[in-house]
Amino acid sequence: MTAVNEKVFISPGRYVQGEGVTARAGPYVLTLGKTALLIADDVVWKIAGEQLSASLEGEGVSFERAVFEGEASNREIDRLVELGRKQQTDVVIGFGGGKAIDTAKGVAEKLAAACAILPTTASTDAPTSALSVIYSDDGEFESYRFYSKNPDLVLVDTGIICKAPPRFLASGIADALATWVEARAAIRANANNMAGGKATLLGATIGEKCEDILFEHAMLAYQANEAQIVTPSFEAVVEANTLLSGLGFESGGLAAAHAIHNGFTALHGEIHNLTHGEKVAYGTVAQLILDQTLQAELEEYLDLYIALGLPVTLKALKLDEASEEDLYRVAEAALKEGESSHNLAYELTPKQIVHAIKAVDAHARAFMAKVGLSE
């Protein structure tokens, strides 16, 4: 049990990043176990399943592929746990996007098995963390589920990731840009991080460095992704999106940006078609406004978000026709007991969050008019 003022930093056992590492996954996985449950959806399997299969088989790792059904829900985790028990799995491999990864971590924890994560996009910071975001079968945020340890292995193939739609990289950049905004707010409030303790100097430094790298390299990485090539800037942003953001949010802390994202999941309609990072982007600007961020800094975020095609207006967020009641539902969900919105140095009311959501739209429109952009 963590004492009141103990500092805590946690991380995965091994992180490996580079072009073509999926084809060399076998030796890494073999150190964790010889019987694997491999969780991946059909799209991911068509992209790189053959490479991964050949590498595992070449090292004598037997595996059963379980088709991921699309939602990181308690029902999906329980379904896959039963498959793992029948197979006597000793290592669970999560191969795919954020929800497949979060599901794999939940399955590994319940099976007391090792956990290997192979993300096929750099769209979230889920791969390295010791928690999952759990949704209902309909995609509504339910809770964070915390685990006894981080993944044993995170294997990031930039050769695969560079072929994913650039929208996913932009989403990961948005998720990662929330890292320092939220961590510094949690640290100011002396709030606990996601590991249950206070931030270490390392945890804070990683979060701050993550932001520096993204502002410096994000557009170059995005352009490389559009060209489906791996460049030094692309490698840097993939690492920032995955490793630095993952360590930074978990050992630094979350605050209002992710809480507002979670609030958005309470709504039905087209907003559900937006990615995690796209909704986090809007929540990040909302938190910057609540934190009384100076206009010049606020506009740095808006400028990059707009360049990456991220939503910073209610129309882009698919909420231009949302009612006042809808926005209050978002705010109330964001302020639920246990939500990270309480990791701020000030108390929030639903009205303040609703006004912040509207203010993002107003400031973004004003900024776009100032620089000659149309929505």
DSSP 3-state percent helix, strand, coil across the chain (nearest 5): 55, 15, 30
Helix (H) or strand (E) run with residue 298 in it:
helix 295-307
Judge whether 272 counts as a catalytic residue.
no
Cβ atoms 193, 203 nearer than 8 A:
yes
Residue 90 in marked binding region: no
Helix (H) or strand (E) run with residue 324 in it:
helix 324-334
Which member of 152, 157, 217, 258 is catalytic? 258
Judge whether 258 counts as a catalytic residue.
yes
Residue 41 in marked binding region: yes
Residue 342 in marked binding region: no
Judge whether 217 counts as a catalytic residue.
no
Which member of 152, 157, 175, 326 is catalytic? 175
Residue 101 in marked binding region: yes
Residue 276 in marked binding region: yes
Cβ atoms 94, 124 nearer than 8 A:
no
Residue 3 in marked binding region: no
Nearest to 97 by CA among 242, 294, 272: 242
Cβ atoms 287, 339 nearer than 8 A:
no
Residue 120 in marked binding region: yes
Which member of 152, 157, 217, 261 is catalytic? 261
Residue 148 in marked binding region: no
> What is the layout of strands, in order, in the sheet containing 114-119?
14-18, 153-157, 114-119, 91-96, 35-40, 62-67
Residue 98 in marked binding region: yes
Q: Is 39 helix (H, G, I), strand (E, B) or coil?
A: strand
Residue 336 in marked binding region: no
Which member of 152, 276, 361, 363 is catalytic? 276
Judge whether 326 counts as a catalytic residue.
no
Which segments are annotated as binding site for glycerol?
Answer: 125, 175, 258, 276
**Binding site feature residues:** 41, 98-102, 120-123, 125, 129, 131, 135, 175, 258, 276
Give me the active site residues, please: 175, 258, 261, 276
Residues flagged as binding site for NAD(+):
41, 98-102, 120-123, 129, 131, 135
